Structure formats: structure tokens, C-alpha cells
Amino acid sequence: MNTKKIGFIGGGNMASSLINGLIASGHSPSQIWVSDTNPDTLQSLADNLKVNISVNNDELTKEVDVVVLAVKPQVLKTVAEKIATTLIDKDILVVSIAAGISQQSLTEWLGNEIAIVRCMPNTPALVLTSATALHANDVVTDEQKDLAENILRAVGISLWVSSESELDAVTAVSGSGPAYYFLLMEAMESAAVELGLSETTARLLIQQTALGAAKIALESSETPKTLRQRVTSPGGTTEQAIKTFEEGAYSSLVSKALHAARDRSIEMSKELGES
């Protein structure tokens, strides 16, 4: 892993997070390349992380063993088609973290024999606690799968799904998931202020409670249902709140929201693939 040269096309927040994670896990900055259209972004990465920089994607592609496509989905087709010729006869792995771009589209733009891993990370990568799902096409070797997994593990957990279609569900669950928790925290904060707490006190209590609940869930072998039941005493305050949630069809609403996100992910893949 540490001997492989990794190139990032796109130097935005997600790429920067991955690079920071790789360096923190022992990957040498001299083995990392970044290209971007913004010279200020490149200079900042060079100054702060000591990585190699370039404004030329072809130059980067020729230097590395892995290319991480970290550009906006709307420009990925243009970027991919321009580097396609430099990938011919080159044993290289392409890792795409662009949301909504299918492997079929990537193959059409890059070439049929290119090893492609499509990933769906989420924004907690910014604080090295991402949850990422990956899917490889048939060209990817076991060694390349390990390499892709190690890159994404630099910012959190990573796991493989058996079919690419599952990435649409992943998008709905973890890709968009942080916003769901922020929405709950936002609603709790507003209600806490109504109950008489200051905004500062409410926010800190809610943030720490969310962190604690997540930590318990991560460290326990029990299901969330069992954990919830254990902290819900009969006739107590928690039970009253849970009953109110259930009367509002909370579980049904969550299911409806995730289905809507999954369906939109499928639509976006079609739209972006055709654009």
C-alpha cells in the first residue's frame, strides 16, 4: 500500500480528507499526487501536506498506480474522456467517489478494460469517521480491491456490496444520512429552547447525547431496538417520548424518506450518465 502512487483528480474537501487520512496512516506525501483547476487549492495542499501537485490530469495519470476521481459528477464525463487515452495499456486502478455516476458510464468514458471501483463515502470523512461502501467491476483484481479498501479506510470504515445497485440504497442510508441526524438535532434543539434551556446548553447536551448513543451502539453487539428498550423504563419519561414518536408514524416516515432518497439516486445516475 505505502509503495503505491495515488493520484487525486480534484483537490476538494473529500480528496483533502482522504489525503490527510492516508498520510496519518503512514503513506508518504511523496507518493501522492493531486491535480485541480484551482491553483490556490493546489498550492495549499502542497504547502500544508507536502504532496505533489499538477494542473495537468494526463501528467498525473502517467505517474500513479491509482487514480481517485474526486471531481463534481457534472464534470466527470469531460474529465474521464480526456484521460482515457493515457490509461490505454496501463495497469491502473480508477476509484470514483463521484455520487451518482454508474460503472457503466465510467466504462464508456474510460474504456472497457479499465479496473474501476465505485465508492459512496459520506461527509464525516472530514473528521475521519466516514462510512463508505464500495463496488468493483470485473476487471479489478484482489490486490486492487485491497488497495481501494485501504484508501477509503484512511477516513473511516469501508465495506463491499455485492451489487452496484446497492449503492443507491447506501446513498439513501449513509450518503445522505448525516443530514437526517442533523435534522433531528435541529428539532431537538428548538424544542429544548422552548422548554427553557439556552441554545448553547441545549446544543451541547444534544451533541454529546448523540455521540454517546452512537458510541454505545458501535460498541454493543445488541440491536438498536434492544438498546432502545433497555433505556425505556415502563411509565417513565422516555416511554412517553417514544409513544409520541410512534403516534406520529416516525418509523413509517423514516422509511418513506429513505425510499425517496434511493429513488432520487437512481434518477440522478440516469441523468448524469446521459449528460
Scan for cell 448513543, then name that residue: 213
Domains: count for the chain: 2
92 shares a domain with 11? yes
Of the listed ranges 161-170, 171-180, 263-272, the one predicted with least confidence: 263-272
Alpha-carbon distance values, 267 to 130, 176, 272, 274 (Å): 25, 15, 9, 11
- CA gap 34, 57 in Å, rounded: 9
158 shares a domain with 104? yes
153 shares a domain with 186? no
Is the per-residue pLDDT at 1 higher than 60? no
Domain C-terminal end among 151, 167, 183: 167
- What is the distance between the terminal CA atoms of the chain, rounded to a whole angstrom? 35
Q: What is the pTM of this model?
A: 0.91
**CATH number of the domain that 27 lies in?**
3.40.50.720
Domain C-terminal end among 167, 201, 219: 167
**pLDDT, mean of residues 54-75:** 94
244 shares a domain with 140? no
Residue 275 lies in a domain: no
Residue 88 lies in a domain: yes
163 shares a domain with 28? yes
**pLDDT, mean of residues 167-193:** 97
User: Nearest-CA neighbor of 64 among 49, 79, 52?
Assistant: 52
pLDDT at 273: 78
Residue 110 lies in a domain: yes
149 shares a domain with 88? yes
Scan for cell 492516508, then name that residue: 22
161 shares a domain with 121? yes
- Are 147 and 125 spatial neighbours (Cβ–Cβ below 8 Å)? no
User: Nearest-CA neighbor of 158 among 124, 123, 126, 121?
Assistant: 121
User: Nearest-CA neighbor of 11 among 49, 59, 66, 63?
Assistant: 49
Residue 206 lies in a domain: yes
Residue 182 lies in a domain: yes
Please name the amino acid found at residue 151: I
210 shares a domain with 92? no
Tell me which H or E stretch contains 23.
Answer: helix 13-24
Residue by residue, DSSP assigns 181-246 as HHHHHHHHHHHHHHTT--HHHHHHHHHHHHHHHHHHHHH-SS-HHHHHHHT--TTSHHHHHHHHHH
pLDDT at 61: 95
Query: Which is it for the CA torsion 252, 215, 218, 118, positive or negative?
Result: positive
- Residue 136, phi then psi, degrees to nearest 5: -110, 145
34 shares a domain with 154? yes
Share of the chain above pLDDT 70, in %: 99
204 shares a domain with 162? no
Residue 213 lies in a domain: yes
14 shares a domain with 82? yes
**pLDDT, mean of residues 203-229:** 97
Residue 104 lies in a domain: yes
Residue 68 lies in a domain: yes
pLDDT in tens, 75-126: 999 999 999 999 987 899 999 999 889 999 999 999 989 999 999 999 999 9
223 shares a domain with 204? yes
pLDDT in tens, 224-274: 999 999 999 999 999 999 999 999 999 999 999 999 999 999 998 888 876
Domain C-terminal end among 121, 139, 167: 167
Instruction: State the Rg of the chain over Cα.
Output: 21
What are the grid coordinates assigned to 20, written together? 490527510
Domain that holds residue 246: 175-267
